[in-house]
Structure 1
Amino acid sequence: MPLRSMSRWAATAALAVLPLCAHALPTFDTVKNDWRSSDWILLARDGEPLARTRADRSERRGDWVALADVSPALREAIVVSEDKRFYAHSGVDWRGVAGAAWGNLWNTRTRGASTVTMQLTGLLDDDPKRSGQRSIAQKAVQAANALWLERSWRKDQILEAYLNLVPFRGETVGLAAISQTLFGKAPSGLDEREAAIAAALIRAPNAPYRKVAERACRILRDMDSASGCANLDGFVQLAFARPAASLAASATSSATDSDTLAPHFARRIANELHPGAGMRVRSTLDARLQRFARDTLTRTLIELNAPPHRRNVQDGAAIVIDNVSGEILAYVGSSGALSKARDVDAVLALRQAGSTLKPFLYAEAIDERRVTTASLLDDAPLDLAAGGGLYMPQNYDKGFKGWVSVRTALGSSLNVPAVRTLVMVTPHRFAKTLTALGLPLTQEGDYYGYSLALGSADVSLITLANAYRALANGGVPRPTYDLPRGSQPARVSANQPETRVFSRDASFIVTTVLSDNNARTRTFGFDSPLATRFFSAVKTGTSKDMRDNWTVGFTSRYTIGVWVGNADGTPMWDVSGVSGAAPVWAAIAGYLHRNAPSIAPAAPPGVVRTRVVFENALEPARDDWFLAGTQMPFVGLAANAADAKGNAQAAAPQIAGPTDGTIFALDPDIPVERQRVWFERAPGSPARSAWRLDGRALGGAARVAWLPWPGMHKLELIDARGNVADTVRFEVRGANVKRAAASGGSHGAKGAKPLAGASAPTPR
């Protein structure tokens, strides 16, 4: 049968079944709208993509790509390799059909004649993966479908749908997926060689790279670009190696800048929502802020490791929270390519807090009216009895400043004054305060001991930053949000009453210290990254052996937290809070307030401002803030201080040990008469004070040994006027113990064992 007759016969057969297929195929809009990427996409608050995460493991599909976003080279390569007369035929290339039939009749090899349109109809049926030879009847139906499709769809729609639906290599379906998987770029950026490789994969998607290279070279010749065949084998081999390398580097499915802005935050959302393939989840993140925070952190770490200094720091994290709404605006979980543990989310990782806990300690002490910001604390060598010996805190610079005010002690982050303050507050009560702020302490306060003042507890960046946000909000901790919760103001449910940790007054006073550049000059100097041109309250922290470096603080609108260190816990080299995390913190704060002011909070009604003069000019005279009723115009040492009327002022007696809530256990292996509990006055307490236990006097020595007896006990310290100056309650546990004849005891007696562990090491 002549070719022309065969063409007419094939056309007649296809037209005969055309009415049967007229309504079997969907419209272009239906196909496009039903398309689902294999990824779910995290969006910024303005809709910009931030991260793509694989959800469907059966196929790898990207977003639907418009034909206008496909490179001209790829469009040409597809037409040249799959359907040279695509723009001339009406769905079926009758010349090709006749030629294929004639060749199959007289030759052993098989020639195909399926057009792009015919192939698309096969992709649109119930089994898009169907492969293998088709019968003549199936071919006739496919041809009829193609004719109908050409009457219903435009040529550009057919080619666009084909490029999005056609399988390429392995699990990869569609142009967007193969373009990112093999070449790491969008379809609009494919050059002639890349386009030829992609087109070559359509005929033999799982062929070895040499076969793909041979076919790609033939396509390049048909495109009049034979020069692209040079070293094509190696180019294809590198492209085939890319998916394995990408899988080893990250669980996300794309590599563009916008798609990898927040991989750790995407994991956080995935754990919350378990989004499915094709879902687009709008978050609270600000894309431009996220990009700025990520790039600033990366640049700072590169500078820290640049020669000649090489500070040995490779990891970091940053978070920004809206003070009012609690929405997370930026969330940088790692330093990315700089890190050897890039999948570790350093925003959530538990690390030693260092000096970042000091503001909460002083806020509690001010609330309890134990100190004011003008109170003097002795920054001098100190040793305190701890579980296994003496606890001797040191300052970061190994030196001591002598008598300093609380304002200076907090602003300059002095360690010894903080420990003296914790002696007054007690580790037990302070640990409860930290837990109330949302910090994830895993032990009771007595486990950490006095080192808790210096941040020996482990915290995460997100919980630490949110605790500082509580200070910004007047002492009330509130939850954070990573998904939009509606419009302003704060999203606090009526069924979740607020729990106040600090008074608004104490929060304000501590804020004035954290924003006082003069208060931090003894340690940080006057010109440091912490001194912003706008209102900000900020604190640094460095943990033991420089393993963790923090800067956390807030402006009138935002709370910002930054951590730098090494995910494996190795120490940094000569990196302090002001040189490591602080530059990142200051840059983010400056970016946030480049066009918006940050205004200091107004003083609440419960505080007063008073001019303070220090004895012997220990510190320059200044105006300071006090809780109403605690103000003092003159401050001096306990023996010499006088009030405004000239009356001598003595420091209030304080109990150093035991701490409130301590539980002692009598050791059954030690005779009862040989066990003692020691009562100690806090350093600086006046000598004229006496002990009273359960209503009975115990004398007035600085340290008293008491023969323990099981039960609940109340210990009081009585001042010179007979008033109760301080009180702690503790418990002694033990069974079958006979009361000894005497209380008090020998200095050689062993102490009863506290149930809590020994104090943690001192962080710097």
Structure 2
Amino acid sequence: MGLAKWCLVLCAAVCAPVAWGLPTFDEVRRAHQPSEVLVLSREGEVLQRLRTDASVRRGQWVALPEVSAALRQAMLLSEDRRFYEHSGVDWRAASAAAWGNLWNTRTRGASTLTMQLAGLLDDDWRQGPGGRSVAQKLGQTVAAQVLDRRWRKDQILEAYLNLVPFRGEVVGIDALARTLFGKAAHGLDAQEAALAAALVRAPNARVAQVAQRACGVWREMQVAPARTGRAPSVAAQAADCTALEMLAHAALQRRAWPASEGVAPHAARRALAQAQQGGVSPGAQLRTTLSAPLQRFAVQSLTQHLRELQGRQVEDGAVLVLDNASGEVLAWVGSSGALSGAAEVDGVLALRQPGSTLKPFLYAQALAERRLTAASLVEDSPAQIATPGGLYIPQNYDRQFKGWVSVRTALAASLNVPAVRTLVMVSPDAFYRQLQALGLPLRESAGYYGYSLALGSAELPLLPLTNAYRALANGGRHSPVAPLLRAERPVRPAFTRAVDEGAAWIVGDILADPLARARTFGTDSVLATRSWAAVKTGTSKDMRDNWAIGWSSRYTVGVWVGNASGAPMHEVSGTSGAAPIWAALMAHLHARSPSRAPAAPAALVRLPVHFGAGPGAEVPLEAARTEWFVAGTQQALFAINNVADGAYLTGAKGQFGLDSEVMGAVRIVAPAPGSIVALDPDIPPQHQRVHFMASPASAPGLRWRMDGKPLGRGAQVAWLPWPGRHVVQLTDARGRVLDELRIEVRGAGVARR
């Protein structure tokens, strides 16, 4: 045996153990790691593609039957015509290549698909910048024959198409099809297949060279059809090649495979983070709790409504839909996408001021503590609450006051002053603990927020706020939101009692009452759904945030509308901002199965109630109706017999002055001496007033002077505050000073509109 043959045998003997150590087809397929993660819906549909590997673009593993027949034909014609005939090595082609090299002539090359696959599976046989060495070629040859014996031909071709590098960072046919052509591998036509095959031989060649080679492959693909019919003319072939060159220029310049694409980018990132935090290998697919049809409808509804609000400086929004029973997230829309200037900000998790959306929890606490009933009368009138930092003067959304109203009306119509008076009864500390029990992440202490907590001065994300409403839907029972990753087996939520069951039910009954909300929203409001639903809107300071959160028998829906930058909206109210989106979602959710009102708990009492007339009037404050009560708080008549002196005054400790005994001496009862009034630059000055009150109110001839100048007459007078230190005097008709106090007004920058 000659020396050359001995060298070949020796190299083969050395390479054989390595070749026999090649993985199986199943091992290769399991080890395939796409550069993206597919986030799936609960139905198995792809909601989002998230790129997780920035070094390469590698798509999902594509089974051979899912690859277009044109691509398989083009690849075999270009790379390995006798693929189904040889045993891994095409000795005929190898002999032709050797003969060509001897005579310095160009040939097609002798590397088969199987040999190329061997190089892709083992770096030892992969071609370097200077080509393969003799040992590498021998090892690749042995490995190819081993692969051909251990793998089926269809497995070899399938693995090759999924592992072969194409152009730049693109690896595998799925990445190529989506990047260059914007479609799946099964949709590639003959010209696209020819272009893909041309890239294998020269992945980084100039476009003209790739197009020329693709044209040659495409012409060869026409030979088989021509055998059974008329072959294309030369002119037709030239025209098709021109079109193919145009396709090559367009395809090789596009990058139609962004880092993230789909309808749930923020939820997808949340699911991926949960998978990584839980020690779960994300792999290629993540099954979530999201519903694909609902997610698409939520995105469409948000986008459509924000387009309708163009011109009112509204560009962002967020939507969340929870399943009441399981706590699973069914829809998660974090932003308005292309309409937003900050599309990456997740509005479901961003901190925003909740406005009036905290009121249901406040009234539920007052009902549970038996401080109020749904029929109790509270006064919606100017109020000044003395605090260590000055006077807190709450205002209603429409800057108007409704007088004496029932709790049902105060909550449903979202009146601010009665809510603050209710918080005075409950106390900020107790309400703070109630909100914490509902899972709301308050960043500051109760003392920091003070009485403004009743009007939503804290900052909260949409996710825990919507879940707190879900607790009301579940009769006051709270449980955390279920993970976005769907568990293989259903996990029962761990409920804890956060709100009294009867109080939660009454609050839901109030928020579902269209007549109770008519004082503010009218009788034909968008909040009036076709089937039962309870809903509350909210607007934060200066119209920076607008909310609509509510629940039906099966779902809780939360919607936020605003600007991620915090810029105020223009003329966007509770019913024109988030409410239409909320209503559209509720109608979609219950299009086939109407929502039914929940049954009242056994502990509640239902009783007909009547209301007396207001002070100085003969008409009843509200129409008679049947009302629900926590057992032990029911009564049939609610009336105001007389208004106690000092009833408008509230002290720093939050207690109403309810002393009905007439004071012997005339004095100023509000504001408190030494009060510091802070002007709010976001409220127009014509809507900011300090109310001075004297007691007894029946005293005749009362006069008011501000810094020595006449201010007004009567027991009450309103004053437009002006920065500085001021002396306020109460006099009788003769000008004698009956009482005097000093106050200070701070804040010179009042915005005028």
Q: TM-score, normalised by structure 1?
A: 0.77
Q: Secondary structure at the match of 2:527?
A: coil
The answer to whether the 8 A contact 2:645-2:661 is kept is: no
Q: In the TM superposition, what is the alpha-carbon distance from 1:222 to its structure 2 partner? A: 3.8
Is 1:288 matched up with 2:293?
A: yes
Q: In the TM superposition, what is the alpha-carbon distance from 1:317 to its structure 2 partner? A: 1.2
Gaps of 5+ in 1: 1-10, 641-649, 661-679, 691-698, 708-745, 752-756
Q: In the TM superposition, what is the alpha-carbon distance from 1:87 to its structure 2 partner? A: 4.2
The answer to whether the 8 A contact 2:15-2:138 is kept is: no
Q: In the TM superposition, what is the alpha-carbon distance from 1:621 to its structure 2 partner? A: 0.8
Q: In the TM superposition, what is the alpha-carbon distance from 1:607 to its structure 2 partner? A: 2.0
Q: For residue 349 of structure 1, what is the amino acid of its counterpart?
A: A
Question: Which residue does the alignment assign to 2:562?
Answer: 565
The answer to whether the 8 A contact 1:681-1:703 is kept is: no
Is 1:303 matched up with 2:308?
A: yes
Question: Which residue does the alignment assign to 1:416?
Answer: 417
Q: In the TM superposition, what is the alpha-carbon distance from 1:102 to its structure 2 partner? A: 1.8
Question: Which residue does the alignment assign to 2:481?
Answer: 480
Work out which of the residue numbers 554, 560, 564 in structure 1 matches 2:551. Answer: 554
| CA 654–551 in structure 1, closer or farther in 2 if over 3 Å, else same | same
Q: Secondary structure at the match of 1:612?
A: strand
Is 1:603 matched up with 2:600?
A: yes
Question: Which residue does the alignment assign to 1:511?
Answer: 508
Question: Which residue does the alignment assign to 2:167?
Answer: 169
Question: Which residue does the alignment assign to 2:141?
Answer: 143
Q: For residue 491 of structure 1, what is the amino acid of its counterpart?
A: P
Q: In the TM superposition, what is the alpha-carbon distance from 1:561 to its structure 2 partner? A: 0.8
**2-side partners of 1:137 and 1:267: how far apart?**
44
The answer to whether the 8 A contact 1:412-1:521 is kept is: yes
Question: Which residue does the alignment assign to 1:83?
Answer: 80
**1-side partners of 2:317 and 2:562: how far apart?**
6
Q: For residue 494 of structure 2, what is the amino acid of its counterpart?
A: V
Question: Which residue does the alignment assign to 2:458?
Answer: 457
Question: Which residue does the alignment assign to 1:732?
Answer: none
Q: Identify which range, 650-659 or 523-532, moves more after superposition.
A: 650-659
Deviations 1:112-135 (A, max 9, x none): 221222212222235575435224
Q: Secondary structure at the match of 1:381?
A: coil
The answer to whether the 8 A contact 2:178-2:257 is kept is: no
Is 1:362 matched up with 2:381?
A: no
Q: For residue 268 of structure 2, what is the amino acid of its counterpart?
A: P
The answer to whether the 8 A contact 1:396-1:415 is kept is: yes
**2-side partners of 1:270 and 1:632: how far apart?**
55
**2-side partners of 1:273 and 1:378: how far apart?**
52
Question: Which residue does the alignment assign to 1:711?
Answer: none
**2-side partners of 1:259 and 1:513: how far apart?**
34
| CA 68–569 in structure 1, closer or farther in 2 if over 3 Å, else same | same
Question: Which residue does the alignment assign to 2:494?
Answer: 492
Q: In the TM superposition, what is the alpha-carbon distance from 1:654 to its structure 2 partner? A: 9.9
Q: In the TM superposition, what is the alpha-carbon distance from 1:524 to its structure 2 partner? A: 1.9
Q: For residue 304 of structure 1, what is the amino acid of its counterpart?
A: L
Q: In the TM superposition, what is the alpha-carbon distance from 1:444 to its structure 2 partner? A: 2.5
Q: Secondary structure at the match of 1:526?
A: coil
Q: For residue 201 of structure 1, what is the amino acid of its counterpart?
A: L
| CA 113–12 in structure 1, closer or farther in 2 if over 3 Å, else same | farther
Deviations 1:641-697 (A, max 9, x none): xxxxxxxxx89989832236xxxxxxxxxxxxxxxxxxx745xx343399xxxxxxx
Question: Which residue does the alignment assign to 1:647?
Answer: none
| CA 392–652 in structure 1, closer or farther in 2 if over 3 Å, else same | closer
**2-side partners of 1:703 and 1:529: how far apart?**
41
Deviations 1:28-51 (A, max 9, x none): 333323323233333333443333
Q: In the TM superposition, what is the alpha-carbon distance from 1:390 to its structure 2 partner? A: 4.3
Question: Which residue does the alignment assign to 1:116?
Answer: 113
The answer to whether the 8 A contact 1:317-1:332 is kept is: yes
Q: Identify which range, 106-115 or 161-170, moves more after superposition.
A: 106-115
**2-side partners of 1:173 and 1:479: how far apart?**
42
Q: In the TM superposition, what is the alpha-carbon distance from 1:93 to its structure 2 partner? A: 3.0
| CA 488–612 in structure 1, closer or farther in 2 if over 3 Å, else same | farther
User: What is the correspondence of 1:36-47 to structure 2 with a 5 Å cutoff?
Assistant: 36-47=33-44
Question: Which residue does the alignment assign to 1:346?
Answer: 347
Question: Which residue does the alignment assign to 1:625?
Answer: 628
Question: Which residue does the alignment assign to 1:372?
Answer: 373
Work out which of the residue numbers 640, 645, 656 in structure 1 matches 2:650. Answer: 656
The answer to whether the 8 A contact 1:264-1:345 is kept is: no
| CA 596–130 in structure 1, closer or farther in 2 if over 3 Å, else same | farther
**1-side partners of 2:662 and 2:555: how far apart?**
47
**1-side partners of 2:20 and 2:503: how far apart?**
75
Q: In the TM superposition, what is the alpha-carbon distance from 1:106 to its structure 2 partner? A: 2.2
Question: Which residue does the alignment assign to 1:263?
Answer: 268
Deviations 1:599-641 (A, max 9, x none): 322222332111111123221110011122222211222429x
| CA 129–289 in structure 1, closer or farther in 2 if over 3 Å, else same | farther
| CA 180–489 in structure 1, closer or farther in 2 if over 3 Å, else same | closer
Identical-pair percentage: 55
Q: In the TM superposition, what is the alpha-carbon distance from 1:456 to its structure 2 partner? A: 1.9
Gaps of 5+ in 2: 1-7, 223-236, 613-618, 675-738
| CA 704–584 in structure 1, closer or farther in 2 if over 3 Å, else same | closer
**2-side partners of 1:429 and 1:18: how far apart?**
78
**2-side partners of 1:235 and 1:465: how far apart?**
50
Is 1:639 matched up with 2:637?
A: no
User: What is the correspondence of 1:139-218 to structure 2 with a 5 Å cutoff?
Assistant: 139-218=137-216
Is 1:575 matched up with 2:580?
A: no
| CA 367–19 in structure 1, closer or farther in 2 if over 3 Å, else same | closer
Q: In the TM superposition, what is the alpha-carbon distance from 1:277 to its structure 2 partner? A: 6.0
**2-side partners of 1:67 and 1:455: how far apart?**
58
Is 1:405 matched up with 2:399?
A: no
The answer to whether the 8 A contact 1:264-1:332 is kept is: no
The answer to whether the 8 A contact 2:547-2:574 is kept is: yes
Q: Secondary structure at the match of 1:518?
A: coil
The answer to whether the 8 A contact 1:424-1:654 is kept is: no
Question: Which residue does the alignment assign to 1:710?
Answer: none
Deviations 1:70-90 (A, max 9, x none): 123322332232223434544
Deviations 1:140-188 (A, max 9, x none): 4433443443444443322211100111233332111222233332112
Q: TM-score, normalised by structure 2?
A: 0.78
Q: In the TM superposition, what is the alpha-carbon distance from 1:585 to its structure 2 partner? A: 1.6
Q: Secondary structure at the match of 1:318?
A: strand
| CA 477–134 in structure 1, closer or farther in 2 if over 3 Å, else same | same
The answer to whether the 8 A contact 1:325-1:490 is kept is: yes
The answer to whether the 8 A contact 1:319-1:462 is kept is: yes
**1-side partners of 2:629 and 2:264: how far apart?**
51
Q: Secondary structure at the match of 2:478?
A: coil
| CA 260–352 in structure 1, closer or farther in 2 if over 3 Å, else same | closer
Alignment length, in residue pairs?
A: 658
Q: In the TM superposition, what is the alpha-carbon distance from 1:514 to its structure 2 partner? A: 0.8
**2-side partners of 1:288 and 1:338: how far apart?**
21
Deviations 1:491-541 (A, max 9, x none): 228xxxx3x432112111111101111111222222233222222111111
Q: In the TM superposition, what is the alpha-carbon distance from 1:586 to its structure 2 partner? A: 2.0
Deviations 1:280-317 (A, max 9, x none): 33332233322332232223223333xxxx33322211
**2-side partners of 1:226 and 1:15: how far apart?**
48
| CA 153–652 in structure 1, closer or farther in 2 if over 3 Å, else same | farther
Is 1:522 matched up with 2:519?
A: yes
**2-side partners of 1:158 and 1:260: how far apart?**
36
**2-side partners of 1:390 and 1:259: how far apart?**
46
Deviations 1:579-601 (A, max 9, x none): 22222222222333333343322
Question: Which residue does the alignment assign to 1:729?
Answer: none
User: What is the correspondence of 1:739-750 to structure 2 with a 5 Å cutoff?
Assistant: none
Q: In the TM superposition, what is the alpha-carbon distance from 1:578 to its structure 2 partner? A: 1.8
Give the root-mean-square deviation of aligned CA atoms: 3.9
